[in-house]
Structure 1
Amino acid sequence: MPQPPFRILVVDDDPASRALLARILSSRGHAVEALADGKDALAALERGPADLVVSDIRMAEVGGYELAEAMREKVPETPIILVTAFGNIEGAVEAIRRGAFDYISKPYDVDAIAVVVDRALRQRALVLENRALRRQVRDKYRLENVVGRSEAMLEVYKTAARVAASSATVLILGESGTGKELVARAIHTASSRAAGPFVPVDCGAIAEGVLESELFGHARGAFTGAQAARRGLFEEASGGTLFLDEIGDIGPGLQARLLRALQEGEIRPVGTNEPVTVDVRVVAATNKDLALAVKDGKFREDLYYRLNVVTIRIPPLRDRREDILLLAEHFAAKHGRPEAAITPAARDLLVAYAWPGNVRELENVVARALALNPSGMIVPEDLPDAIRPAGAPPVPPPGTGERPTLAEVERRYAAQVLAEQGGNKTRAAEVLGIDRKTLYRILGEKDEGRA
Structure 2
Amino acid sequence: MAGKILVVDDEKSMCDFMEIMLSKEGYEVETTVSGSEAIQRTSSSKYDLIIADLMMPEMSGLDLLKKIKKGRPNQDMIVMTAFASVDTAIEAMREGALDYITKPFKVDEIKLVIEKSVSRQKLTEENSRLKQQLKKDFSFSNFIGQSEGIINLKKLAAKVSVTDSTVLIRGESGTGKDLIAKAIHAASERASGPFVTINCAALPETLLESELFGYKKGAFTGAIKDKDGLCKMAHGGTFFLDEVGNTTPAIQVKLLRVLEDKIITPVGDTKPIEVDVRLIAATNADLEEDVKAGRFRSDLFYRLNVIPLYIPALRERPDDLPLLVNHFIKKYCERNKVDPKTLSPGALEVLNKYNWPGNVRELENCIERAVLFSRGDEIVVDDFPTKLVEGTPQTIVSNETPETPTLESIEKAYIYYIMNQTKGKKAKAAKLLGIDNSTLYRKLERYKIQEEEK
Within 5 Å, give how 1:72-151 maps onto structure 2: 72-86=69-83, 90=87, 93-151=90-148
Please name the residue that 2:253 is paired with: 256
Within 5 Å, give how 1:205-224 maps onto structure 2: 205-224=202-221
Give the C-alpha shift of residue 288 in structure 1: 1.1
Cα pair distance change 1:223/1:61, threshold 3 Å: farther
Give the C-alpha shift of residue 77 in structure 1: 4.1
**Structure 1 counterpart of 2:369, which letter?**
R
Give the C-alpha shift of residue 132 in structure 1: 1.1
Within 5 Å, give how 1:334-413 maps onto structure 2: 334-337=331-334, 339-373=340-374, 376-389=377-390
Q: Which moved more, 1:86-95 or 1:111-120?
A: 86-95
Instruction: State the Cα deviation string for residues 71-98 of structure 1 (Å, max 9, x = none).
Output: 4454344422222222787566444333
Please name the residue that 2:448 is paired with: none
Please name the residue that 2:231 is paired with: 234
Which whole-Å CA distance do the structure 1 matches of 2:240 and 2:97 have between them?
38
Give the C-alpha shift of residue 243 in structure 1: 0.8
Question: Secondary structure of the equivalent of 2:389?
Answer: coil
Cα pair distance change 1:165/1:252, threshold 3 Å: same
Which of residues 252, 258, 262 is equivalent to 1:265? 262
Give the C-alpha shift of residue 363 in structure 1: 1.4
Give the C-alpha shift of residue 354 in structure 1: 1.6
Please name the residue that 1:9 is paired with: 6
Q: Establish whether residue 152 from structure 1 lines up as the match of residue 149 from structure 2.
A: yes
Instruction: State the Cα deviation string for residues 269-310 of structure 1 (Å, max 9, x = none).
Output: 222222222222111001111111112211111111111112
Cα pair distance change 1:71/1:211, threshold 3 Å: farther
Please name the residue that 1:35 is paired with: 32
Please name the residue that 1:25 is paired with: 22
Q: Which moved more, 1:228-237 or 1:239-248?
A: 228-237
Cα pair distance change 1:231/1:67, threshold 3 Å: farther
Question: Secondary structure of the equivalent of 1:209?
Answer: helix
Give the C-alpha shift of residue 70 in structure 1: 4.1
Structure 2 length as normaliser, TM-score? 0.80
Structure 1 length as normaliser, TM-score? 0.80
Quick check: 2:139–2:183 contact (8 Å CA) kept in 1? Answer: yes
Gaps of 5+ in 1: 390-415, 422-426, 429-451
Q: Which moved more, 1:18-27 or 1:361-370?
A: 361-370
Give the C-alpha shift of residue 228 in structure 1: 3.2
Question: Secondary structure of the equivalent of 1:331?
Answer: helix
Please name the residue that 1:400 is paired with: none
Which whole-Å CA distance do the structure 1 matches of 2:273 and 2:47 have between them?
42
Cα pair distance change 1:15/1:212, threshold 3 Å: same
Query: How many residues are treated as equivalent by the alignment?
Result: 393
Quick check: 1:37–1:63 contact (8 Å CA) kept in 2? Answer: no
Give the C-alpha shift of residue 242 in structure 1: 1.1
Gaps of 5+ in 2: 401-454
Cα pair distance change 1:371/1:61, threshold 3 Å: farther
Which whole-Å CA distance do the structure 1 matches of 2:262 and 2:357 have between them?
38
**Structure 1 counterpart of 2:261, which letter?**
E
Which whole-Å CA distance do the structure 2 matches of 1:324 and 1:9 have between them?
55
Which whole-Å CA distance do the structure 1 matches of 2:220 and 2:79 have between them?
50
Quick check: 2:86–2:102 contact (8 Å CA) kept in 1? Answer: no
